[in-house]
Copies of this chain bind each other. A is one copy, B any other.
């Protein structure tokens, strides 16, 4: 199995603040795992025994809403850490994590993380910074969800998907979600979402090929998001 010290992935997460000894210690007790597309990493209410480090692939964090729909709160991709919140605050997880493509993840047991958190202030500051960033984002999302209409929210979701996954060689967003999943992310009925996708498509804002979506003009989509239509 690979060694944490040499793993490039950690450079992108708060793990970068760990020193060599800590990395070696973690390396010796971490486990690695493959998660296939569609499989859950954990589910809402689970109690995590450690933190996941995403080496490859991506997953969606979802929450079952009271109306029975699955809402995608955010995506976690290569290089991200997952589960710190739950591990540090010692509470069950609030969201489910499901792979949106094949993933390779490392698992670092709770005790290792907590030792470093309590013993290495650089690491704890990094971790908190990450969580603060998530909180800021989440607050922004709340405001957008409350104040924007469905069309604006779809524009936001498209931009978020584009930011998170990037483009393939043809310029399509490098992730394939069902219409239902996108509807859940936007917070609308699947039929409404489908209609809006074709409206965007007709207006030349996007190009749709099956599940693949290409943003024709970032600027125009941004304008929709800002209510300039």
Contact = CB atoms under 8 A, between A and B. Distances in A.
A67 B129 contact: no
Interface string A122-148: 001101110111111011111111111
A152 B139 CA distance: 19
Interface in A62-97: 63, 65-67, 69, 71, 73, 85-86, 88-89, 91, 94-95
Interface of A is mostly: helix
A119 interface: yes
Given A63-B143, A227-B66, A128 B125 contact: no
A144 B141 CA distance: 11
Interface in A135-181: 135-136, 138-148, 152-153
A115 to B, nearest CB: 10
Contact of A73 (B95, B128, B139, B187): B139
Given A138-B139, A146-B187, 19 more contacts: A63-B139, A65-B144, A65-B146, A66-B144, A66-B152, A73-B143, A85-B132, A85-B135, A89-B128, A89-B129, A91-B136, A118-B121, A118-B125, A131-B132, A135-B135, A138-B138, A145-B146, A145-B187, A146-B186
Nearest to A141: B142
A117 interface: yes
A195 B43 CA distance: 39
Contacts of A226: 66
A136 B88 contact: no
Contacts of A89: 128-129, 132-133
Contacts of A139: 63, 73, 94-95, 138
